[in-house]
Amino acid sequence: MGRVFETNIVFDFPDQRFRRERKLLRLRCAGARSILTYKGTPEEGPLKSREEIELEASDPRQAKLLFEQLGLQQVFEYEKYRTEYRCAAAGAMVMLDETPIGDFLEIEGTPEEIASTAAQLGFGPDRYINSSYGTLYRDWCRERNLEPSNMTFNVHPGRSAREER
Protein backbone atom coordinates (compact mmCIF):
# COMPACT_ATOMS: atom_id res chain seq x y z
CA MET A 1 0.00 0.00 0.00
CA GLY A 2 1.27 3.47 -0.86
CA ARG A 3 1.53 6.51 1.36
CA VAL A 4 -1.96 7.60 2.49
CA PHE A 5 -3.04 10.77 4.32
CA GLU A 6 -5.30 10.10 7.32
CA THR A 7 -7.53 12.23 9.47
CA ASN A 8 -8.48 10.61 12.77
CA ILE A 9 -11.24 11.96 15.01
CA VAL A 10 -11.49 10.62 18.57
CA PHE A 11 -14.84 10.71 20.38
CA ASP A 12 -15.72 10.47 24.05
CA PHE A 13 -18.58 11.28 26.39
CA PRO A 14 -18.52 14.64 28.20
CA ASP A 15 -17.40 12.84 31.41
CA GLN A 16 -14.42 11.39 29.47
CA ARG A 17 -15.19 7.82 30.52
CA PHE A 18 -13.34 6.35 27.53
CA ARG A 19 -10.19 8.32 28.35
CA ARG A 20 -10.36 7.32 32.03
CA GLU A 21 -10.73 3.65 31.04
CA ARG A 22 -8.04 4.01 28.31
CA LYS A 23 -10.57 3.06 25.63
CA LEU A 24 -10.87 4.68 22.23
CA LEU A 25 -13.64 5.38 19.73
CA ARG A 26 -12.26 6.74 16.47
CA LEU A 27 -13.41 7.72 13.00
CA ARG A 28 -10.54 7.44 10.51
CA CYS A 29 -10.70 8.84 6.99
CA ALA A 30 -7.83 7.39 4.95
CA GLY A 31 -7.93 7.99 1.25
CA ALA A 32 -11.39 6.94 0.05
CA ARG A 33 -12.03 4.75 3.12
CA SER A 34 -13.72 5.68 6.38
CA ILE A 35 -13.26 3.28 9.29
CA LEU A 36 -14.92 3.27 12.70
CA THR A 37 -12.74 1.73 15.41
CA TYR A 38 -13.39 0.81 19.02
CA LYS A 39 -10.35 -0.13 21.11
CA GLY A 40 -10.74 -1.63 24.58
CA THR A 41 -8.53 -1.05 27.59
CA PRO A 42 -4.96 -2.20 26.85
CA GLU A 43 -3.68 -5.29 28.63
CA GLU A 44 -0.59 -4.83 30.80
CA GLY A 45 2.71 -5.97 29.33
CA PRO A 46 5.62 -4.92 27.16
CA LEU A 47 3.45 -4.92 24.02
CA LYS A 48 0.22 -3.03 23.52
CA SER A 49 -2.58 -5.56 23.18
CA ARG A 50 -6.27 -4.71 23.30
CA GLU A 51 -9.65 -5.66 21.93
CA GLU A 52 -10.28 -3.94 18.60
CA ILE A 53 -13.48 -3.76 16.58
CA GLU A 54 -13.47 -2.08 13.17
CA LEU A 55 -16.03 -1.51 10.47
CA GLU A 56 -16.27 0.60 7.33
CA ALA A 57 -18.50 3.64 7.32
CA SER A 58 -20.02 4.55 3.97
CA ASP A 59 -20.53 8.19 5.03
CA PRO A 60 -18.17 9.70 7.64
CA ARG A 61 -20.39 12.77 8.12
CA GLN A 62 -23.32 10.55 9.05
CA ALA A 63 -21.12 8.47 11.37
CA LYS A 64 -20.00 11.63 13.17
CA LEU A 65 -23.61 12.82 13.44
CA LEU A 66 -24.65 9.43 14.85
CA PHE A 67 -21.98 9.64 17.57
CA GLU A 68 -23.06 13.18 18.45
CA GLN A 69 -26.72 12.10 18.69
CA LEU A 70 -25.62 9.36 21.11
CA GLY A 71 -24.04 12.00 23.37
CA LEU A 72 -20.45 11.62 22.23
CA GLN A 73 -18.31 14.60 21.30
CA GLN A 74 -15.13 15.09 19.32
CA VAL A 75 -12.27 15.36 21.82
CA PHE A 76 -9.16 15.09 19.65
CA GLU A 77 -8.17 15.11 16.00
CA TYR A 78 -4.87 13.94 14.62
CA GLU A 79 -3.40 13.66 11.16
CA LYS A 80 -0.69 11.48 9.73
CA TYR A 81 0.65 9.95 6.57
CA ARG A 82 0.79 6.16 6.75
CA THR A 83 2.75 3.75 4.59
CA GLU A 84 2.21 0.02 5.17
CA TYR A 85 4.72 -2.76 4.59
CA ARG A 86 4.50 -6.51 5.07
CA CYS A 87 7.59 -8.16 6.53
CA ALA A 88 7.40 -11.50 4.72
CA ALA A 89 10.16 -13.16 6.72
CA ALA A 90 8.53 -12.44 10.09
CA GLY A 91 4.87 -12.29 9.04
CA ALA A 92 4.24 -8.92 10.69
CA MET A 93 2.78 -5.73 9.29
CA VAL A 94 4.94 -2.61 9.64
CA MET A 95 3.40 0.83 9.36
CA LEU A 96 5.40 4.03 9.04
CA ASP A 97 3.40 6.94 10.48
CA GLU A 98 4.60 10.44 9.66
CA THR A 99 2.96 12.77 12.18
CA PRO A 100 3.28 16.47 13.00
CA ILE A 101 5.37 15.52 16.08
CA GLY A 102 7.65 12.93 14.49
CA ASP A 103 7.78 9.64 12.65
CA PHE A 104 6.80 6.36 14.30
CA LEU A 105 6.86 2.68 13.33
CA GLU A 106 3.99 0.45 14.34
CA ILE A 107 4.40 -3.30 14.12
CA GLU A 108 1.34 -5.57 14.21
CA GLY A 109 1.46 -9.32 14.65
CA THR A 110 1.95 -11.96 17.29
CA PRO A 111 4.40 -11.13 20.09
CA GLU A 112 6.99 -13.34 18.37
CA GLU A 113 6.44 -11.65 14.98
CA ILE A 114 6.69 -8.20 16.57
CA ALA A 115 9.91 -9.04 18.43
CA SER A 116 11.48 -10.64 15.34
CA THR A 117 10.52 -7.77 13.04
CA ALA A 118 11.63 -5.12 15.54
CA ALA A 119 14.99 -6.88 15.94
CA GLN A 120 15.44 -7.08 12.16
CA LEU A 121 14.83 -3.34 12.03
CA GLY A 122 17.34 -2.72 14.81
CA PHE A 123 14.91 -2.05 17.66
CA GLY A 124 14.94 -3.80 21.02
CA PRO A 125 12.17 -3.81 23.65
CA ASP A 126 13.73 -0.74 25.29
CA ARG A 127 12.64 1.26 22.22
CA TYR A 128 8.99 0.12 22.25
CA ILE A 129 6.41 2.88 22.78
CA ASN A 130 2.96 1.88 24.05
CA SER A 131 1.52 5.39 24.36
CA SER A 132 -1.35 6.62 22.22
CA TYR A 133 -0.93 9.52 19.80
CA GLY A 134 -3.02 11.63 22.20
CA THR A 135 -0.58 10.97 25.05
CA LEU A 136 2.47 11.45 22.83
CA TYR A 137 1.05 14.77 21.61
CA ARG A 138 0.22 16.03 25.13
CA ASP A 139 3.77 15.12 26.28
CA TRP A 140 5.24 16.84 23.21
CA CYS A 141 3.27 20.03 23.98
CA ARG A 142 4.20 19.93 27.68
CA GLU A 143 7.93 19.70 26.80
CA ARG A 144 7.56 22.86 24.68
CA ASN A 145 5.20 24.78 27.00
CA LEU A 146 2.47 24.72 24.34
CA GLU A 147 -1.25 24.42 24.90
CA PRO A 148 -2.45 21.10 23.38
CA SER A 149 -5.22 21.25 20.82
CA ASN A 150 -5.30 18.87 17.87
CA MET A 151 -2.29 17.08 16.38
CA THR A 152 -2.61 18.39 12.86
CA PHE A 153 0.00 19.63 10.45
CA ASN A 154 -1.00 23.26 11.18
CA VAL A 155 -1.12 23.03 14.98
CA HIS A 156 0.06 26.52 15.84
CA PRO A 157 -0.70 29.64 13.79
CA GLY A 158 2.22 30.48 11.53
CA ARG A 159 4.17 27.24 12.14
CA SER A 160 3.61 23.53 12.07
CA ALA A 161 4.37 21.11 14.89
CA ARG A 162 7.20 19.65 12.80
CA GLU A 163 8.90 23.08 12.87
CA GLU A 164 8.70 22.99 16.68
CA ARG A 165 10.90 19.86 16.94
Separation CA 100–CA 135 (nearest Å): 14
- Cα–Cα distance list, 100 to 124, 162, 165 (Å): 25, 5, 9
- Cα–Cα distance list, 16 to 41, 51, 74 (Å): 14, 19, 11
Number of domains in the chain: 1
* Contact between residue 143 and residue 70 where contact means Cβ atoms under 8 Å apart: no
pLDDT digits (tens, 9 = 90+) for 21-36: 999 999 999 989 999 9
Going by pLDDT thresholds of 50, 70 and 90, the confidence category of residue 49 is: confident
* Contact between residue 108 and residue 39 where contact means Cβ atoms under 8 Å apart: no
- Give yes or no for residue 11 having a pLDDT over 90: yes
pTM above 0.75, yes or no: yes
**Residue 24, burial from CB neighbour count under 10 angstroms (0-12, 13-18, 19+):** buried
pLDDT digits (tens, 9 = 90+) for 86-115: 876 667 899 999 999 999 999 998 889 999
Domain span holding position 90: 4-164
The predicted model gives 122-136 an average pLDDT of: 92
Separation CA 38–CA 10 (nearest Å): 10
For position 112, which CATH number holds? 2.40.320.10
